[in-house]
Amino acid sequence: MKTPDLSLAELGTYFPDDFTPEQRAKAQTLFLKELAASAHRFYRGKIVSMPKAGIYGFNWFNVYYTPGVSMVSTSIRDDNDASFDLSNRGNLVAVVSDSTRVLGDGDVTPSGGLGVMEGKAFLMKYLGGVDGVALCIDSYNKEGKHDPDKIIDFVRMLQPSFGAVNLEDISQPNCFKVLDTLREECDIPVWHDDAQGTASVTLAGLINALRVVGKEFKDAKIVLLGAGAANSTAARLLLADGADPEKMVVFDSRGGLHKGRDDVKADTAYYRKWEICEATNPGRIDTEEEALKGADVIIAASKPGPDTIKPEWIHSMNAKSVVFACANPVPEIYPYAAKEAGAYVVATGRGDFPNQVNNSMGFPGILKGALLVRARKITDGMAIAAAHAVADFAEKKGIGPDSIMPTMEETEVFAVEAAETAMQAIKDGVARVELTWDEVYNTTLADIQEARAAIDLLQKNDFIKTPDLKMLEVARDRAVAAVRA
């Protein structure tokens, strides 16, 4: 059992040799949670605001503030689009959440989502060169219920200050109304990363998983477990990209979605679910056991496991089956158990297992591409283009059963993704400005490198403090003790 180091490069070796694979997986999860709590307390969050303009003497405040800045105000008054050039708006994303569906923890109260939203802003900057602001809001109405209209009104009001809005961790069915209303009514991209973002990277991962197992996309029998924002949108993107609706079955907590689900049809708030009912599962299959017999793919974004997906279900699937168990923080089945049951390719949403299918591979590049061409929305076509960019990037590097996706360390993938997203925005007619593929790629790569260089400089000069290794040891020991208990 090794002492943890700051790189966290060998997570599995931090735990006792006598741990079973299941105990090791549990310890890994608990260790990361304990370390997260300590690190956030140490840093008091992850994000700080810093000027990007130079200070050459106190008289420059007369330039950046009054009286000089008056000309900036009147210039934007006369042409609102000038705000993209004269302020940071063109590279600024609002990360908006009411914190009602945070990871596997559900409703954590408005301020409970701050850790995740700051994390989203952190990844935006480091992976995409994009500035993000965490905005966790209270969506309760006078009756004590979460009101989607409050979120809609809030986003409408903040539009003038941001280049895009990333909706996050909003429970269903509110998330559907919020996204679809704002996509049409706002003049900047509003996207729900739990929906379009997760769906885009799921498509990317599936493209390469099917390449690895030698199966055609249009021929694959696909089962989706869970019908929340992620899988509802994944189903839509998969169908738009060529999946066969007659070979797709989607499950919610009450069974298979199909035209006989009068309960879904009657609840108009779940209109996205009803679209799936109308398009898929013509055989009206109602049980996971039946659906998975002879299936090629299961994509789960449902209840955290590790027993949500049964090993016997996987055993009944076709040879060289593909299992995506993407619940966080604990997948619906651990990878080792899925492999033991016969799965050939296994992916999760976590970076400490092979094949991470997580929206962190999508939103930094997609948002950057949308921002650079000043897109008015992010279309499904843009999300699909990004998925193919990610999949093709990984394929060129070499793919296999444990390597269907690029990693976050491959900086170039985000620049390629941004460029492909931007080109699709232009094709779809939602871009305010037209740039070339190379212009978007080079700008994105330069902005990412600048962000990372700045963080490195702050660390080297001790403006970002280095935590004591004892913090890691304590987190490890607490995790081991909890598993042994």
Note the pLDDT tens digit of each residue in 169-192: 999 889 999 999 999 999 999 999
Q: pLDDT for 443-473, tens place per residue?
A: 999 999 999 999 999 999 999 999 999 999 9
Say what the pLDDT of residue 304 is: 87
Say what the pLDDT of residue 329 is: 81
Mean pLDDT, the chain, integer: 95
Q: What is residue 133's three-state secondary structure?
A: strand
Say what the pLDDT of residue 162 is: 98
Q: pLDDT for 61-90, tens place per residue?
A: 999 999 999 999 999 999 999 999 999 999
Average pLDDT over residues 247-254: 96
Question: Which residue shows structure tokens 């039946």?
Answer: 290
Say what the pLDDT of residue 107 is: 94
Say what the pLDDT of residue 351 is: 82
Query: Which among 458, 404, 464, 477 is positioned nearest to 27, based on CA atoms?
Result: 477
Q: Is the pLDDT score of 381 beyond 90?
A: yes
Whole-model pTM: value is: 0.94
What percent of the chain clears pLDDT 90, i.e. is strictly above it?
Answer: 91
Q: pLDDT for 343-352, tens place per residue?
A: 999 999 988 8
Say what the pLDDT of residue 12 is: 84
Q: Is 334 a catalytic residue?
A: no
Tokens of 340: 């033991």
Average pLDDT over residues 403-420: 96
Write the DSSP assignment of 203-239 as a string of letters: HHHHHHHHHHHT--GGG--EEEE--SHHHHHHHHHHH
Q: pLDDT for 87-114, tens place per residue?
A: 999 999 999 999 999 987 889 999 999 9
Tell which phi-psi region holds residue 103, choosing left (phi > 0), alpha (psi between -120 and 50) or beta.
Answer: left
Query: Which among 15, 35, 33 is positioned nearest to 24, based on CA atoms?
Result: 15
Say what the pLDDT of residue 395 is: 97
Say what the pLDDT of residue 439 is: 98
What percent of the chain clears pLDDT 70, i.e. is strictly above it?
Answer: 100
Say what the pLDDT of residue 55 is: 94
Average pLDDT over residues 213-218: 96
Q: Is the pLDDT score of 18 beyond 90?
A: yes
Please tell me the distance from the alpha carbon of residue 417 to that of residue 201, in angstroms, as a whole number: 11
Which one from 65, 145, 218, 396 is the annotated catalytic residue? 65
Q: Is 465 a catalytic residue?
A: no
Q: What is residue 248's three-state secondary structure?
A: strand
How does residue 419 score in pLDDT terms, banded at 50, 70 and 90?
A: very high
Which one from 26, 46, 120, 177 is the annotated catalytic residue? 120
Contact 137, 151 (CB under 8 A): yes
Say what the pLDDT of residue 1 is: 80
